[in-house]
Amino acid sequence: MGFIEEAVRVLKLTRKPRKDEFIMVSKITGLGMVVIGVIGVVIILFARLLGLS
């Protein structure tokens, strides 16, 4: 089965998310972005404390 056929098959199975599903996915995505940002800030602070930056 080629890529195009597989892509068409997947698109036929998809549906528009309900409002509650969309809100939940948005919250999880936002939380992930915040966590990654906090990790980045912590790494920068440690680097400055150690004199690496």
**What are the extents of the domains in the chain?**
20-53
pLDDT at res. 1: 74
> For 1-52, how does the pLDDT look when each residue is reduced to its tens digit (9 = 90+)?
799 999 999 999 999 999 999 999 999 999 999 999 999 999 999 999 998 8
CA 12 from centre of chain: 24
pLDDT at res. 52: 83
For residue 53, name the pLDDT band (cuts at 50, 70, 90). Answer: low
pLDDT at res. 51: 87
Which residues touch 53 (CB under 8 Å, ≥6 apart)? 44, 47
